[in-house]
Amino acid sequence: MPVVLTAAERHHLKKMAYGHKTPHQARQRATIVLLAARGRPNARIASQTRIHVDTVRTWRGRFVAGGLPALSDRRRSGRPPSFTPLHDAEVKALACQLPAESGTPLSRWSCPELALEVAARAIAPAISASTVRRLLKADAIKPWQHRSWIFIRDPNFPTKAARMLDL
């Protein structure tokens, strides 16, 4: 497959191939296309770049078929998400509530207890404690570090609290 480059494509590929901040894979792909534009065969490009000949053939073919945009990674399907954004929001809202509000005899939530409560309320399909931890970590929610002011023993608490709030 002959590779013919325009001046703009050549300039862009050189920036990709020699740029210090260019990701490694993008550098390799740009180098493959630049060498192919010089008329080098796939086997020689492979030995020169120490990249497998099948990889060279793939990226050369993709460039010929689609130009510069074809050098980026294709979208991969992957596994669909198990939890919707609504599930995420409901789990986070539950974590922000005190356990006593839901009738749970706890002073603060932990991830395993939150997972059990989410399953009991049927908020989301079966959820693990590690998934709850990951969801909460995304927004820096740490209900297990919540300081409870339920049992205030200091008789001067209202005046001290008022002073703290006036700061």
pLDDT digits (tens, 9 = 90+) for 19-37: 999 999 999 999 999 999 9
Buried b (16+ CB within 10 A) or exposed e, 61-94: ebbeeeebeebeeeeeeeeeeeeeeebbebbbeb
pLDDT value of position 62: 94
SS (H, E, C) 77-133: CCCCCCCCHHHHHHHHHHHHCCHHHHCCCCCCCCHHHHHHHHHHHCCCCCCCHHHHH
Q: What is the DSSP string of 25-91?
A: HHHHHHHHHHHHHTT--HHHHHHHHT--HHHHHHHHHHHHHH-GGGGSPPP---PPPSS-HHHHHHH
- Identity of the residue numbered 35: L
pTM (two decimals) = 0.52
pLDDT at 89: 86
Alpha-carbon span 8 to 67, nearest angstrom: 12
Q: What is the pLDDT of residue 88?
A: 86
pLDDT < 50 stretches in the chain: none
The reported pLDDT for the residue numbered 136 is 84
Q: What is the pLDDT of residue 108?
A: 77
Q: Which residue has the tokens 């596994």?
A: 79
CA 83 to chain centroid: 15
Rounded CA-CA distance 71/53 in Å is: 17
pLDDT score for 167: 56
Q: What pLDDT is recorded for position 44?
A: 96
